[in-house]
Amino acid sequence: MKKGMKYYGLIWLTAVAAFHAIVFLLPDSVTGAARSAGAFWSGYAGIMAAFTGQAVCSYLFFRETTPKGRFLNIPLVTLSYSGLLAVLIAGSLCMTVPFIPDWLGAVAAILILVFSAVAVIKSKAAAHIVNTGDKKIESRTSFMKLFVSQLSSLLDAAKSTPVYEPIQKLYEAARYSDPVSAVSLSDIESRMTSELNALSASINTEDFESARRISGELLLLIKKRAADCKRFK
């Protein structure tokens, strides 16, 4: 994104330079401008403030480091370039066309900036809502992710043992089970954790008879959890 900010910075500087060239290099006889008048400098200050505001809006996008954040903020890039171009055109016309008041350029440029700022705020709010939702989903799926991961490690440890196949069935059942937890599932998930710990201890002590029995009980719990997930939805 540093490269994107660099390119935008070059374009921004080009637009500002073009604005100054148009406003200050054209003769007064062409533009009818009275550069000594307060209205001229008020209009100029307003337009430059709008240019600066456009740069700030763009920075809010380019400083995003996460891929998801950049994706959600993609509309801001187009908006920022469009806003920059609109400020350049509106500001230049209002400052150089004789029958258009200088102050109108400042008003037009600031209105464009306000529109851009509102769009930035809305985009940031939408990104925040999406990120918050993702965090909630992640927290609700953390139990099954950890459970499946522990079963995977247990499956590796059980290779070349009599209980490899039962544990493989457990792993497959858990892997394809509904990953989303809920408060109503807390009791059965607690029992699943206890059974998994007991199963791990049985394998470590090579008590394969107990391990086979616990595997069967744990498989029933996984199936019951899957049924409860469907029932509570």
Domain count, the chain: 2
pLDDT confidence of 28, banded at 50, 70, 90?
low
Residues 13 and 111 in one domain: yes
Enclosing domain of residue 211: 142-232
Q: Which of 132, 159, 180 is the last residue of a domain?
A: 132
Q: Is residue 37 predicted with pLDDT exceeding 70?
A: no
Q: Do 73 and 165 lie in a common domain? A: no
Are residues 44 and 75 located together in one domain of the fold? yes
Residues 110 and 212 in one domain: no
Q: From CA 199, how far away is CA 165, in angstroms rounded?
A: 14
Identify whether the C-beta of residue 53 lies closer than 8 Å to the C-beta of residue 113.
yes
pLDDT at res. 212: 92
Predicted model pTM: 0.52
In the predicted structure, residue 118 carries a pLDDT above the cut 90: no
Q: Which of 93, 112, 132 is the last residue of a domain?
A: 132
What are the CB-based long-range contacts (under 8 Å, 24+) for 163-172?
163/203, 163/208, 163/211, 163/212, 163/215, 166/211, 166/212, 166/215, 166/216, 166/219, 167/199, 167/211, 167/215, 169/215, 169/219, 170/215, 170/218, 170/219, 170/222
Question: Do 102 and 163 sit in the same domain of this protein?
Answer: no
The token pair at 154 is 């247990």
Give yes or no: residues 76 and 121 share one domain.
Answer: yes
Is residue 137 situated within a structural domain?
no
- How many other CB atoms are found less than 10 A from the CB of residue 189? 17
Q: Calculate the average pLDDT of the chain.
A: 80
- Verify that 163 and 227 share a domain, yes or no: yes
Mean pLDDT score, 72-101: 78
125 domain-assigned: yes
Whether 171 and 201 map to the same domain: the answer is yes
Q: For residue 112, what pLDDT is reported?
A: 83
Q: Last residue of some domain: 85, 110, 132? A: 132
Q: Does residue 4 surpass a pLDDT of 60?
A: yes
